[in-house]
Every structure is written in structure tokens, then in C-alpha cells.
């Protein structure tokens, strides 16, 4: 198989509050022989909040990020659901609106750049599944996670809205019955547990503005996984991870029940199955202790 | 019947009569379903052939009145528009029909939508303006101005988005996506003279647009492709453009991204929380911050990473910014 190569858009969280996500991404890519060229010039995607304040500015900045992937002539790979949504949404809007694309390019020309629309955008989860292949991952598993019940938590911005996700995820992910993360758990030898909250919101984006709403959503998600007898949760989104890993005290108070489970990044789960060490995967960085390794 | 275009499907149907039942229960029916049938056909067959007491709302049968909305396997749908085979393709051949909100069920699949209509009415969902009672010609709206409404005027008030919205389910004050789509529809109308007042309404804390959790459920569930969250984002933008954004945690949270990107290219997560909450408000985050710090999850200010070619980003932030706060 030709070596896979992507332009890596890390997003901000992997550089700050989830260093373990960056570590595990690089560790898994190395194990699988995937080359990642980090887009060190990339800016924050705006995380859907800059978009509320200044939509045009967010378009220009996201177009600039994609333009750098285009300079490498590579597909951009993201490791954050919200980065994925904002970047893919920018691409969708610019590719379907010539006037808007021209306005954005007028700005990018000021710094010698142009958005052409030639690079695709995908999340590392879908790069593993669609491009590398579940069967190949399964073949490379050296430490199957067979003793674990694992609760997938998809995160909103990888599965909704369908119209956009079907463009970027080759049309195989349903907003209501997604399978990618479940399939990846199974490929790693684990048992994927089913629960209603796996496709629901974690509340991250309303944490400061609507703390009670956010805390109840976090509590419901962890409680759902616990009631499904999960040993731990896994998510492709570092923002969901932050909420589920660090906010369980507030969530427990909000729903009137003690809730807490270890929450692994999708890359950490794959890394464990591939035989990476806990140091390589940064498991010591979790607030809710990962005590099964 | 063509064997290739029919199959057996098991339906679990929510049953509850608030006048006689203490708790809801489900009745199960297994039917042969043809590829032509929509959910309303199945409900009719259950009522006509199996149990005449089953209650649900139905009216136009053309996907335009919005009264027959229910949930199928948790997904809000219009019963008259949704093909059974599409549901089977998504969920398999066991389908559960429930009311849009089980806690608001009156009888079986019928709910009390008072909260929905109250919130819809609260945003003044009509055009306000001086009207000449004896006009000499129609009040024309240019195609360009009509385009600004986007798809907001396609809303049929079915309530599918409202009762799928997690923020509505938790926060009873929150207006919800349908009301915001209506608010946008009239505030974006060039004939309306009440836009500013409506923006003040949706700018309120707890009930307003800032309490959206951005889960995209409303966009996903809407049977008319209104895309309510797009309208919520537009309302956010309009609040800033109209210069009526209050200086609070929600607005500072949005503005903080621009400041941070202009300074670092990236988001300074710690500074964003301080900027959004203020120097006093930030103190409530200290316990979690300390736990994160002990796990190496907080970057101290002097170690804050910066994007390469930051000068480019600074230049673009300066030249491309369209609003001020």
C-alpha cells in the first residue's frame, strides 16, 4: 500500500489542554506508517464561537488554513470534531459560492495566498477507517482490548449535519446510527457497548454561558455509558474529552448522581491495541485516572 | 404484492392516556410494509385494523401543516413525509414510535405544544411596519432581499427541532431553534421595523441565542431543511452588527476568540476563560484548573504556543474584521 500522507491540522487543544491527544496521534501514525506534515502556520478555527462574532473573519482564517494544506497538495486531516466541522463548513461554503470565494481570496491575496478548493478535509478517525482500513488495523493489533466494554462517544460535529458529513466522510456515517467508532472498537478487539447518549451533545460549547445545561448533558452522557456497563469511554473529539474527563464533579451535582469513567481519545485506544506504551499515549495527563493499563 | 418491495417490520407504539394511565406503555405490532408507505399510512393501519383507540395528529398529508410530527427511534419526523423504508434503512426493522416529547404526552402520540407556541409567540413572529391602507401597488421585495431570509420562511412549526433540542429539554426558559428561526425570518425581512426589538429579545440570557449548545440536532432533524442553527448563528451576528451585544460572559466568549487569534494565531484557552468570566468570575474555575494543571493540561502564559507566520494572521484579522465590540 502506498504510504498515507496528510497535512495535519492540530487545532488548539492538542497544543494546550490535551497534550496526550497530540502524543497519541503521532504515536499511532508512526505505528501505522502514516506521514503527518503539521500545518504549523494554521490558526484557530474559531470553534463556532468566532463565527458568532465575525463570520467573514472566520471564513478567511479557515480558508487560509486550507490554503496551506493545498500548498502541500495534501488532504487535510483534523483531530478535533469542531475543527473538522468549521473547516469542512468553510470549504463547503466557498466551493458552492463563487462570489464569497472571490471575496475571501481578495483578503488572502494580501498575504500571498489563494484558496483553490483542491484539498479534501477529513478527520483522523475517518482517515484510519476509510484510507488505512479497519482490516489492516485489526491485523496490526498486538494487545486486543478484549477484556473491556468500551462506550463510544461520537461528538456532535463529526456526525451532524448529515449533508456536510456525507461530503467529507464518504457518505457512510449516519447521524442516528453511526458506526465508525463502534467498528474501530471492534477492530481493536474491544466490545462496543450501545447507549442512547453516544450520539448526544456533551455540552462543551455552552459550558461558560449555560453551565447547568452543559453539566446535565455531561452527566447524562457518562451516566448512560455507566448504565451500559462500560469500563471506559472513547471519543474522537478532544473537546468532548475535556468535558467528560474534567467536569464530572459539576456533572454529578447537576444530575444528582456520582458519575465518572475514564475517557480515552480515539487515538489512545488504537495506540493501546497497537502496543504503544502508556507514556507514548500520555495517559498520565487524564484528570479521571486511567487505572486499567 | 411484489416481494422485493415489501417486508415485515415490528412497531413499538407509545401509549398513554393522561386521564386513565399512571404510566405509559408500548403496544407492539408486526406489519407487512410496502415501499410506497409513509409512517402515517402505518399509523392509520394500526388504528383502522388493530386498535381504534390509538391517537395521533394528522391533517394535510402533504408535509406542509406540521401537525403529524412524532419521533421514530428518537428521530423527529413528519409522519406524512417519512418513508418507512428510509427508516428501516437507518434503524433496521424494529421501529419505535413516540410522541415528540414523552413528558408532554396527552394521549398516545399527541402532545401539548403550549411551551412551543408560547415561545414562538414571544419572539413577535410577524412583520411590524407602517402599512398604507390604500396602497397603489404591492410592496415589492427584491430577489436579493428575499434571499436574505435563506430558508427561514419554510418553517412549518412542526416542533421537531424544538423537541429534539437538548437545551430546550434542560432549560425551560430557552426559546429553542424554531422560535429563533422565526425571529431571524422576520428580523431579516426588509419590510420589518421591529428588528432591533426582536434582537433584544433573543439577546437575553437563559432564554436567548447564547444558550445554544451547538449540537446541530435542529439542523439534522428539520423536515423542511430550515437549518435553524444557521439562523441562530445569523442572530448572533446581527446582535453584534447592531451593536447591542451586552458585555457578558457569552459575548466575551465569542469576542475572546478574535483577541486570542490576533495575539497568538491560536486560542489561549486559559486567557479565554479569564476574559469571558472576568477576574472574579474566573475564580469558580480554579478547582478544575488546579486538577488540570497537576496533569500538565494548562499552558502557562510564557509558554503559550504561537502559530507560525503570525504576521499573516495579524494582518488578516485586521483587514478582514467586519464588526467591533
Q: Answer yes or no: is pLDDT of B16 > 70.
A: yes
Interface test with B, best of A9, A42, A53 (most B CBs within 10 A): A53
**What pLDDT, on a 0 to 100 scale, did the predictor assign at position B4?**
57
**What pLDDT, on a 0 to 100 scale, did the predictor assign at position B130?**
85
Q: Which DSSP category does B83 fall into?
A: B
Q: Please, what is the average pLDDT of chain B?
A: 96
Q: Which DSSP category does A13 fall into?
A: G
Residue A208 touches chain B, beta carbons under 8 Å: yes
**What pLDDT, on a 0 to 100 scale, did the predictor assign at position B263?**
97
Q: Answer yes or no: is pLDDT of B3 > 80.
A: no
Q: Chain A, 56-95: which have a CB under 8 Å from a chain B CB?
A: 56-57, 60-61, 64, 85
* Residue A163 binned pLDDT confidence (cut-offs 50, 70, 90): confident
Q: What is the pLDDT of residues A46-73, one digit of tens each?
A: 999 999 999 999 999 999 999 999 999 9
Number of H helices, E strands in chain A: 15, 8
Give the SS3 label for residue B27. Answer: strand
**What pLDDT, on a 0 to 100 scale, did the predictor assign at position A171?**
65
Residue B301 touches chain A, beta carbons under 8 Å: no
Distance from CA of B119 to the nearest CA of A (A): 18
Predicted TM-score (pTM) of this structure: 0.96
Residue A279 touches chain B, beta carbons under 8 Å: no
Q: By CA distance, what is B73's nearest residue in A?
A: A176
Q: What is the mean pLDDT of residues B50-63?
A: 97
Q: Answer yes or no: is pLDDT of B218 > 60.
A: yes
Interface test with A, best of B210, B222, B267, B314 (most A CBs within 10 A): B267
Distance from CA of A246 to the nearest CA of B (A): 7
Q: By CA distance, what is A111's nearest residue in B?
A: B312
**What pLDDT, on a 0 to 100 scale, did the predictor assign at position B1?**
46
**What pLDDT, on a 0 to 100 scale, did the predictor assign at position B324?**
86
* Residue A173 binned pLDDT confidence (cut-offs 50, 70, 90): confident
The percent of residues above 70 in pLDDT, for chain B, comes to 99
Is pLDDT larger for residue A125 or for residue B1?
A125
Q: Answer yes or no: is pLDDT of B133 > 90.
A: no
Half-sphere exposure of B205 (CA within 13 A, CB side): 11
**What pLDDT, on a 0 to 100 scale, did the predictor assign at position B195?**
95
Q: Answer yes or no: is pLDDT of A252 > 60.
A: yes
**What pLDDT, on a 0 to 100 scale, did the predictor assign at position A2?**
80
Please report, in angstroms and rounded to a whole number, the separation of the first and last CA atoms in chain A. 32
* Residue B139 binned pLDDT confidence (cut-offs 50, 70, 90): confident
Q: What is the pLDDT of residues B172-191, one digit of tens each?
A: 999 999 999 999 999 999 99
Q: What is the mean pLDDT of residues B60-79?
A: 97
**What pLDDT, on a 0 to 100 scale, did the predictor assign at position B2?**
47
> Using an 8 Å Cβ cutoff, are A173 and A165 in contact?
yes
- Spell B189-213 as b/e; 16+ CB within 10 A means b: beebebbeebbebbbeeebbbbbbb
**What pLDDT, on a 0 to 100 scale, did the predictor assign at position B200?**
97
Q: What is the pLDDT of residues A186-214, one digit of tens each?
A: 999 999 999 999 999 999 999 999 999 99
Return the beta strands (E) in chain B as ranges: 6-15, 25-34, 69-72, 75-78, 94-98, 105-107, 110-111
Distance from CA of A124 to the nearest CA of B (A): 20
Q: What is the pLDDT of residues B255-311, one digit of tens each?
A: 999 999 999 999 999 999 999 999 999 999 999 999 999 999 999 999 999 999 999
Q: What is the mean pLDDT of residues B32-36?
A: 95
Q: Answer yes or no: is pLDDT of A170 > 90.
A: no
* Helix residue ranges, H only, chain A: 19-32, 50-53, 55-71, 81-95, 98-108, 124-126, 134-140, 156-159, 162-168, 180-187, 211-227, 238-246, 248-255, 266-274, 278-281
> Using an 8 Å Cβ cutoff, are A67 and A74 in contact?
no
Q: Which of A161, A174, A203 sits opposite B90 (nearest CB)?
A: A174
Q: Which three cell numbers stand for residue A187?
A: 477492530
ipTM field = 0.95
State residue B78 phi and psi, 5-degree precision: -90, 120
Residue A40 touches chain B, beta carbons under 8 Å: yes
Residue A281: CB partners within 8 Å, gap ≥ 6? Answer: A20, A23, A24, A27, A267, A268, A271, A272
Asked if the Cβ–Cβ distance from A249 to B215 is below 8 Å, we say: no
Asked if the Cβ–Cβ distance from B319 to A110 is below 8 Å, we say: yes
The percent of residues above 90 in pLDDT, for chain A, comes to 94
Q: Name the pairing type of β-strands A35-38 and A5-9.
A: parallel
**What pLDDT, on a 0 to 100 scale, did the predictor assign at position B132?**
84
Q: What is the pLDDT of residues B72-125, one digit of tens each?
A: 999 999 999 999 999 999 999 999 999 999 999 999 999 999 999 999 999 999
Across-strand partners of B13? B27, B97
**What pLDDT, on a 0 to 100 scale, did the predictor assign at position A268?**
98
Q: Answer yes or no: is pLDDT of A37 > 80.
A: yes
Amino acid at each position: 500500500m502506498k504510504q498515507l500522507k496528510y497535512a495535519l491540522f492540530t487545532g488548539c487543544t492538542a497544543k494546550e489542554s490535551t497534550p496526550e491527544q497530540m502524543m497519541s496521534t503521532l504515536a499511532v501514525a508512526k505505528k501505522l506508517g502514516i506521514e503527518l506534515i503539521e500545518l504549523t502556520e494554521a490558526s484557530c478555527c474559531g470553534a463556532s464561537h468566532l463565527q458568532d462574532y465575525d463570520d467573514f473573519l472566520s471564513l478567511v482564517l479557515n480558508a487560509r488554513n486550507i490554503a496551506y494544506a493545498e500548498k502541500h497538495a495534501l488532504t487535510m486531516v483534523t483531530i478535533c470534531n469542531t475543527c473538522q466541522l468549521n473547516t469542512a463548513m468553510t470549504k463547503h461554503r466557498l466551493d458552492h459560492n463563487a462570489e464569497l470565494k472571490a471575496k475571501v481570496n481578495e483578503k488572502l491575496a494580501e498575504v500571498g495566498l489563494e484558496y483553490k478548493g483542491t484539498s479534501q478535509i477529513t478527520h483522523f478517525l475517518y482517515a484510519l477507517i476509510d484510507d488505512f482500513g479497519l482490516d489492516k488495523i485489526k491485523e496490526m493489533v498486538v494487545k486486543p482490548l478484549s477484556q473491556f466494554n468500551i462506550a463510544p462517544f461520537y461528538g456532535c460535529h463529526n456526525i451532524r449535519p448529515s449533508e456536510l458529513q456525507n461530503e467529507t466522510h464518504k457518505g457512510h456515517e449516519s447521524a442516528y446510527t453511526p458506526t465508525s467508532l463502534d467498528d474501530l472498537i471492534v477492530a481493536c478487539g474491544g466490545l462496543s457497548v450501545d447507549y442512547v447518549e453516544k450520539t448526544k451533545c456533551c455540552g462543551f460549547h455552552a459550558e461558560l454561558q449555560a453551565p447547568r445545561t452543559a453539566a446535565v448533558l455531561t452527566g447524562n452522557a457518562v451516566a448512560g455509558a455507566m448504565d451500559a456497563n462500560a469500563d471506559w469511554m472513547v471519543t474522537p473529539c478532544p473537546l468532548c474529552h475535556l468535558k467528560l474527563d474534567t467536569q464530572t464533579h459539576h456533572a454529578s451535582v447537576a444530575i444528582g448522581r456520582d458519575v465518572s469513567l475514564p475517557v480515552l481519545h480515539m487515538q489512545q485506544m488504537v495506540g493501546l491495541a497497537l502496543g504503544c506504551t502508556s507514556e507514548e499515549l500520555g495517559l498520565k495527563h487524564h484528570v479521571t485516572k486511567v487505572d486499567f493499563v | 404484492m411484489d416481494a422485493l418491495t415489501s417486508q415485515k417490520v415490528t412497531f413499538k407504539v407509545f401509549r398513554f392516556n393522561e386521564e386513565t394511565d399512571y404510566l405509559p406503555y408500548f403496544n407492539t405490532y408486526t406489519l407487512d410494509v410496502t415501499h410506497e408507505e409513509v409512517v402515517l399510512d402505518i399509523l392509520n393501519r394500526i388504528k383502522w385494523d388493530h386498535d381504534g383507540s390509538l391517537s395521533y395528529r394528522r391533517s394535510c398529508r402533504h408535509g406542509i401543516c406540521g401537525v403529524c410530527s412524532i419521533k421514530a427511534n428518537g428521530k423527529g419526523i413528519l409522519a406524512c413525509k417519512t418513508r418507512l423504508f428510509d427508516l428501516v434503512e437507518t434503524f433496521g426493522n424494529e421501529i419505535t414510535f413516540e410522541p415528540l416529547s414523552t413528558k408532554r404526552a396527552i394521549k398516545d402520540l399527541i402532545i401539548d405544544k403550549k411551551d412551543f407556541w408560547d415561545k414562538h409567540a414571544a419572539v413577535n413572529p410577524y412583520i411590524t411596519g407602517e402599512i398604507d391602507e390604500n396602497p397603489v401597488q404591492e410592496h415589492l421585495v427584491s430577489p436579493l432581499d428575499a434571499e436574505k431570509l435563506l430558508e427561514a420562511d419554510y418553517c412549518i412549526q412542526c416542533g421537531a427541532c424544538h423537541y429534539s433540542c437538548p437545551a430546550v429539554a434542560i432549560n425551560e426558559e430557552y426559546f429553542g431553534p424554531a422560535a429563533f428561526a422565526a425571529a431571524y425570518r422576520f428580523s431579516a425581512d426588509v419590510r420589518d421595523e421591529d428588528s432591533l426589538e426582536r434582537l433584544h429579545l433573543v439577546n437575553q440570557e437563559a432564554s436567548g441565542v447564547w444558550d445554544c449548545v451547538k449540537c446541530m440536532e435542529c439542523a439534522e432533524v428539520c423536515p423542511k431543511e430550515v437549518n435553524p442553527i444557521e439562523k441562530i448563528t445569523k442572530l448572533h451576528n446581527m446582535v453584534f452588527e447592531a451593536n447591542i451585544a451586552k458585555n457578558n460572559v457569552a459575548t466575551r466568549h465569542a469576542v475572546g476568540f478574535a483577541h486570542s487569534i490576533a495575539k497568538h494565531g491560536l486560542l489561549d484557552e486559559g486567557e479565554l476563560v479569564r476574559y469571558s468570566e472576568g477576574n472574579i468570575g474566573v475564580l469558580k474555575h480554579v478547582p478544575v484548573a488546579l486538577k488540570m494543571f497537576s496533569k500538565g493540561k494548562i499552558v502557562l502564559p510564557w509558554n503559550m504556543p504561537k502559530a507560525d507566520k503570525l504576521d499573516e494572521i495579524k494582518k488578516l484579522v485586521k483587514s478582514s474584521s467586519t464588526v467591533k465590540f
